[in-house]
Amino acid sequence: MANIQDFSSYNPTWCPGCGDWGIGVAIKQALIQLGLSPSSVVAVFGIGCSGNMNDFLNAYAIHSLHGRALPNAIGIKIANHKMPVIAIVGDGDCYGEGGNHLVHACRGNHDITVIVHDNGVYGLTTGQSAPTAQKGFKSKSTPTGILETPINPLALTITSGATFVAQSFAGDALHSIAMIKAGIEHKGFSVINILQPCVTFNKVNTYQYYLQRVYKLDSNYKKDDFKIAVQKSLEINEEKFPLGIIYQVEKPSYTDQLSQLKESTLVDKNRFTDFDKIEKLFI
């Protein structure tokens, strides 16, 4: 069985106290507890402080272009649908640059797990406001306050077709581990939005801010009820942050519906190793 050192590479360079530390540990522990090894999982990273984890997580992994982690992850999943694929992204990377990809990945119910570091800023480029920043938030890019309404990631993904939507808090590693494990085990498109304080550039959404506003869903919560899930997701607009599985239903995933994958994975078909057949295509 793998251990934490198996998944560890270079020492992280995140700011002391950054929520990325808690998320990084949670991801590694979730993979270990699921019995996975560095060679049995694929991770695709976006650009940003979260994307720097590409250097700190030892696994089959690629650093994608900004906002393009999801199409890369989907392509990998289609090529080998039996392998777990996770996308590790930031809120600016996924909800901003990659917003269009996110919506259509939800629609397709692609069997990948998306772990979002939601800190309200573009931390790597020194704190410009991200799509989840509250209206009026002041930053280098919005010195007089942001004008736009913030993205509600829970409502967006639930109404776009995601079949697993959860939320956690970087200050609660055990809860984050549980949510990541549940997301990876779910068959379909999984999103775990992790509220992650940026201690350097976001002085509003601090650990203290979230500790006063987060709460865990109780055991009686009906996570398979679409209307209840949407209502619960809208609490974010009131600065209340439910933690847990907000929505989960079982539906056929994208790869489940591809007839080409019924017998084997694409990587096992060896279609491009028969050079005699390939030469005939050019005759």
The pLDDT value recorded for residue 105 is 97
Tell me the per-residue pLDDT of 97-150, one tens digit each, with 9 for 90 and over.
999 999 999 999 999 999 999 999 999 999 999 999 999 999 988 999 999 999
CATH superfamily of this structure's domain 19-253: Thiamin diphosphate (ThDP)-binding fold, Pyr/PP domains (3.40.50.970)
Domain ranges of the chain: 19-253
Tell me the per-residue pLDDT of 193-216, one tens digit each, with 9 for 90 and over.
999 999 999 999 999 999 999 999
Task: Count CB atoms within 10 A of the CB of residue 50.
Answer: 31
More confident residue, 176 or 272: 176
pTM: 0.94
The pLDDT value recorded for residue 243 is 98
Tell me the per-residue pLDDT of 1-27, one tens digit each, with 9 for 90 and over.
788 888 998 889 999 999 999 999 999
